[in-house]
Amino acid sequence: MTTRRTALKSLAGVFMAAGSTSPGTRPPAASAQPANPAPGAFRKAVLISMLPKERSYAERFAIAGAAGFEAVEMQTIERPDEATEIAEAASTLLVPAVVDPATSYRDAWSRSQRVIRERLLPVATQLKVTIAVEEVWNKFLLSPIEFARYVDEFDSPFVRAYFDVGNVVFYGYPQDWIRTLGARIARVHLKDFQLDRPNGRFAWKNLGEGDVDWPAVSAALAEVGYRGYVTTEVPGGDAAYLRDLAGRIDRLLRSPPAAPGGNLGVA
């Protein structure tokens, strides 16, 4: 039987600690309040889907660490044995609602808040797990002011924003969203696009090769004091590709590179 505790740990985008290459190793206990890592370099993370699927989790974590990444963002974990192999859940990414012909904006807002408040937040508070809400292409949370209000209405340190730099370039400026959301930002996704606005089209690009104004993004993150995890959300590749990707993050965000090969942390 699935409990609320189990459901919370199994939501899409669950982050798992990879503090050791040994299966089943648990990360350090969370503090009473969720917090970003101490000021310093941005902490680079990579999606598990970008790493070789045929390798064990221990091998995938080792590949990520050798490339210069400090954490791995996991996808939905449904099997208990698989979750045990990875580690204990640390925070949850939640896409709260979708606006469509059958669901109004107002309904999406109120229903999603009710579900989070009644079903998820009590468990998140008990487990000290951060529910990080992301703005995605679901016709919802279309401005930084709305996003900030949505998070603020929970009045809880365990509901924050998972800001995606690339998702807003079609209708806004990432640096503006960052300044508006400020300390509400729990985590950051990185991706880039080249826009063809007259024809309403776009093409996925590697970081730094699209239309994202990375110097402005870097400046905005510095202004709001963000020094947490920045997770790449781009296609995967081999070890050389991953090293290049980690280097791009260092250059674009002016972050000192991490020493390769160390233990992965909690994203």
Tens-digit pLDDT profile for residues 141-171: 999 999 999 999 999 999 999 999 999 998 8
Give the pLDDT confidence score for residue 13 in this predicted structure.
32
Mean pLDDT of the chain: 79
At 43, give phi and psi (nearest 5°).
-105, 115
The domains of the chain are located at 4-20+38-252
Q: Which pair of tokens denotes residue 212? A: 């994202």
| Identity at 50, one-letter amino acid code | M
H-assigned helices in the chain: 4-10, 57-67, 80-86, 105-115, 121-127, 144-152, 174-181, 214-223, 239-252
Identify the CATH number of the domain defined by range 4-20+38-252: 3.20.20.150
Quick one: pLDDT at residue 47?
Answer: 92
Number of Cβ within 10 Å of residue 238's Cβ equals 11
Q: Is the per-residue pLDDT at 41 higher than 50?
A: yes
Helix (H, G, I), strand (E, B) or coil at 225: coil
pTM (two decimals): 0.75
Mean pLDDT of 58-79: 81
pLDDT of residue 100: 86
Confidence at residue 2, expressed as pLDDT on a 0 to 100 scale: 38
- Cα(36)–Cα(26) distance, rounded to whole angstroms? 19
Average pLDDT over residues 253-266: 57
Nearest to 228 by CA among 105, 73, 78: 73
- Residue 208: predicted pLDDT: 96
Q: Whats the size of the chain, residue-wise? A: 267
Instruction: Look up residue 102 and give its DSSP letter.
Output: T
Instruction: Note the pLDDT of residue 172.
Output: 92
